[in-house]
Amino acid sequence: MTDLVRLEVEGGIGTIRLDRPPMNALNAEIQHGLVAACREAAERRDVAAVVVYGGEKVFAAGADIKEMETMSYTDMVDHSALLQDFTKALAGLPKPTVAAVTGYALGGGCEVALACDWRVAADDAKLGQPEITLGIIPGAGGTQRLARLVGPAKAKDLVFSGRFVDAQEALAIGLVDRVVPAAEVYATARGLVERYVGGPAYAVRAAKEAIDRGLEVDLETGLEIERTLFAGLFATRDRATGMRHFVDKGKGPAPFEGA
């Protein structure tokens, strides 16, 4: 991992911290660091959920344009795979994820937020995909994940124009899920996923996989994905624990092991 990206674990929550002042521009080092941090978070049993956080002032204001400006076509053919990899790694993390957005989440920064399950934004945050103003388009998943999240018409508006949206508009169109004062963003994001600490980790993982994979296929295929994952959970200890607890005691949290 790199010093520009850290995985910090406390109380069962992993925080992937972007730390490249002043704007957390997403250069290749940060992109590689995000891939490594996601892999570590996925593997660690003491991490139940993940918050992605850029700090109190800014989430990430986009890719490192100075790094990209001198690239040739063949350079970008090679680099574009990494652009997809770091958001794929986050989207594919088999645990609940939430982006804690302060300041700007633009371009690649917005694409990082889009790769999370939820987004909590500061009331003064700005989000957008301004790549069109550089003569390019989003390349780290923005055209695909944004359209799936807010619908094609709204996605085309944002991508074609490159305009920024404020937190309230982002909330209204479904780009973010909660808007809170800037000082409360990180705590709110943690609070959103703390409920998964000590929970049935494999069931949560299966639920995320069923929803995400199901969105990409027809209903019949999605139902088969669900059926297979549902049946597979009968091989876990948590399934036995949860059902036995319900039969014996009814209400109340079961003593899940995450196994």
DSSP string, 106-143: ETHHHHHHHTSSEEEEETT-EEE-GGGGGT----SSHH
Nearest residue to 32 (alpha-carbon basis) of 58, 5, 55 = 5
> For residue 247, what are the contacts with CB-CB under 8 A and spacing of at least 6?
none
Strand partners for 99: 52, 119
Strand partners for 63: 26
What CA dihedral angle connects 93, 99, 105 and 111, to 10 degrees?
A: 20
* Cα–Cα distance measured from residue 184 to residue 122, given in angstroms and rounded to the nearest whole number: 8
Of 8, 29, 131, 257, the active-site residue reads: 131
Of 10, 111, 194, 224, the active-site residue reads: 111
Is 111 one of the catalytic residues? Answer: yes
Q: Are strands 118-122 and 97-101 parallel, antiparallel or unpaired?
A: parallel
Q: Mark out the alpha helices in the chain (DSSP H runs).
A: 28-43, 65-69, 73-91, 108-114, 142-150, 152-161, 167-173, 185-193, 201-214, 219-232, 237-249
Is 131 one of the catalytic residues? Answer: yes
Q: Which two tokens stand for residue 132?
A: 């069109």
Q: Are 88 and 70 in contact (CB under 8 A)?
A: no
- Catalytic amino acids? 111, 131
